[in-house]
A and B are shown apart, each in its own frame.
Chain A
Amino acid sequence: MPVTRRLAISLYRHPRVALLLLLAPPLLWLGVVYLGSLSSLVVQSFFSLDGFTGQVVRRFTLATYRDLLTPANMDIVMRTAGMAAAVTLAAAVAAFPLAYYMARYASPRGKAALYLAVLLPLWSSYLVRVFSWKLILAKEGILNWTVQRLALGGALDWLLGLPVIGGPSLSVSLLGMFVVFLYVWLPYMILPVEAALERIPESFLEASADLGARPGQTFRQVILPLALPGVIAGSIFTFSLTLGDFIVPYALGNSALFIGQAVLAHQGTSGNIPLAAAFTVVPMVIMAFYLLAAKRTGAFDAL
């Protein structure tokens, strides 16, 4: 009997060994390289930077977290979390019409086409899609041109004049950033909401109507609660992705930093890896709580 065959037979008899052989490479990669890096990151957040030498002191300390809690840094955290919340809410609202149309009205062919129309922007060219808004929001660009044509210049100026979200132009303001975040993450919300809506049996809606509910009531009391797990599943993506992004704030923001930019700045120019690490622990903790809360609502079944 050739040796490979004897090997195959013994592997068949010892499934544990076969399993171990299959698992070893992916486990080494994800378990050791990836989880190892993640833990080294958390460990580094408990180191500190020596202010004089600029070297990282490898001794346990909470000093870096004290730095993180200074008002300036907490501003960054709150600004990012606020943006993530706003983008998530807006995505939930904006996702509904398309998701509802897909789930209830589109023909099978139309549905397949719409599905692809949502899937493509979700998968492809993230950076390019952010870049496109640089062109759209530019002062001389298409958005301003349209606004002037529609004689809405006054309204836009008023919006940009608002405190906090306003700015000199849409291409450097929180408002513009919000539009772009919504644009890049919206597909992540549409798909789970559509899946949740599709699972609502038609008979529920008929029963609701038969019992005398107006369409608005049916929507609020039947459709919305049943779609909620889908919304929560989608919100995990929109929230988490906004928390960790630095491309959009870099491309369209002003001097007000976001968590991602702070991480990049601290690990890069100032070489303060402990503080950068402490900054990334923030989205990790926020997302851990978020996921726990989401799990309780049963959102994972809608993923």
Chain B
Amino acid sequence: MPSRTAPGPHQARASFGLKAATLAVLLYLHLPLAIIILYAFTTEDAAFTFPPPGLTLDWFGVAWRRSDIWAALSLSLRVATATTGVALLLGTLAAAAVHRAKFFGRETISFLVILPIALPGIITGIALRSAISLLNIPFSLWTIVIGHATFCVVVVYNNVLARFRRTAASQVEASMDLGASPFETFRYIVLPSIATALLAGGMLAFALSFDEIIVTTFTAGQQETLPIWIFTQLTKPRQRPVTNIAAIFVIAATMVPILLAHRLTEGSGGRAGR
């Protein structure tokens, strides 16, 4: 990144109009989530009157006792964990292959890894769905994981590849020359150098998987992940604030890993962008 020279005298400071527009866009991007949090405390059961007629903490107790929420949450956590594992493995392998050799079709691998996130999710979803029905595979946790891992590989791949590019291959050769076994070399040289990239990629994959809904709709069958549960609640005007509490949980479960991943890769060439 070229260092920024001092702005010229004609534009030393942002105009009021630009600042106002910037602030407006920022508010547009972030205020809606505040509304979600506000309505988790409203006393109303079925409407979203503003301002809320009263505030209460009761809905948290109600949500706590709802077994359907717990079931959905548990499924989402299991799916996200399994997805993260698969994405870590496949993403690291693909990054290692693309990094270590120039081979025919190298560009194709990069393209193949990025494709599932570049195409609209519905295409990935229906494609997997039609394959599942063609092969008569019963829906299970693993059909969801297959869908999620397909588009999560790319985040691990990006992070690990960026890290490999900054790590000297001579370290691995030196370790082998000095008599380390392949396992030792991996454990003491390769793993430490890519550890934070793995952690960052893994957390992004977890967050992506945890709130995914489009592909999941096609690969879940009758199972309900937390996003699917929220989606079905959209049409049910009963105990609305409970949906908000689940939504707050999704916000936390996706934002916290992303913030941590951002911290881990800050200024290190790893990318948190898609």
Are A126 and B149 within 8 A (Cβ)? Answer: no
Which B residues are in CB contact (< 8 Å) with A114? 26
Which A residues are in CB contact (< 8 Å) with B274? 122, 188, 237
CB within 8 Å of A: which B78-107 residues: 86, 89-91, 93-94, 96-97, 100-101, 103
Given contacts A19-B100, A121-B30, contact A25 B89 (CB under 8 A): yes
Number of interface residues of A (CB under 8 A): 100
Are A123 and B94 within 8 A (Cβ)? Answer: no
Are B32 and A125 within 8 A (Cβ)? Answer: no
- A229 interface residue (CB < 8 Å to B): no
Nearest chain A CB to B94 CB, angstrom units: 4
Are B122 and A245 within 8 A (Cβ)? Answer: yes
Are B146 and A33 within 8 A (Cβ)? Answer: yes
Bound CA–CA A187/B94 (angstroms) = 28
Bound CA–CA A2/B181 (angstroms) = 9
Nearest chain B CB to A283 CB, angstrom units: 5
Bound CA–CA A124/B253 (angstroms) = 9
Task: Tell which of B124, B208, B230 touches A128, judged by Cβ atoms closer than 8 Å.
Answer: B230
Task: Tell which of A199, A203, A284 touches B119, judged by Cβ atoms closer than 8 Å.
Answer: A284
Given contacts A141-B50, A244-B121, A277-B126, contact A186 B134 (CB under 8 A): no
Which B residues are in CB contact (< 8 Å) with A112? 266
Are A129 and B22 within 8 A (Cβ)? Answer: no
Q: Dominant SS at the B interface?
A: helix
Are B272 and A123 within 8 A (Cβ)? Answer: yes
Given contacts A4-B183, A127-B230, A245-B214, contact A135 B134 (CB under 8 A): no
CB within 8 Å of B: which A1-57 residues: 2, 4-5, 7-8, 12, 15, 18-19, 22-23, 25-27, 29-31, 33-38, 40-41, 44
Residue-wise, chain B 3-36 has the 8 Å CB interface mask toward A (1 for contact) of: 0111110110110001101101110111011011
A202 to B, closest residue via Cβ: B5
Task: Tell which of B14, B103, B127, B153 touches A26, judged by Cβ atoms closer than 8 Å.
Answer: B153
Q: A34-B116, A215-B11 are in contact. List 19 more A-B contacts (CB 8 A).
A: A8-B182, A19-B103, A29-B153, A31-B112, A33-B150, A34-B115, A40-B134, A44-B130, A101-B22, A123-B254, A126-B212, A127-B211, A127-B230, A134-B48, A202-B4, A202-B8, A243-B120, A260-B122, A283-B120
Give 16 CB contacts A-B under 8 Å.
A26-B113, A30-B112, A40-B131, A44-B134, A98-B22, A105-B14, A112-B266, A119-B273, A127-B227, A128-B211, A202-B5, A206-B8, A244-B121, A247-B231, A273-B133, A284-B123
10 tightest Cβ-Cβ pairs between the two chains A and B: A244-B120, A97-B21, A132-B32, A124-B254, A37-B131, A37-B127, A26-B94, A22-B97, A142-B50, A244-B122
List chain A positions with a Cβ less than 8 A from chain B.
Answer: 2, 4-5, 7-8, 12, 15, 18-19, 22-23, 25-27, 29-31, 33-38, 40-41, 44, 94-95, 97-98, 100-101, 104-105, 112, 114, 116-129, 131-136, 138, 140-142, 144-145, 183, 186-188, 190-191, 198-199, 201-203, 205-206, 209, 215, 236-237, 240-241, 243-247, 250-251, 259-260, 263-264, 267, 273, 276-277, 280, 283-284, 287
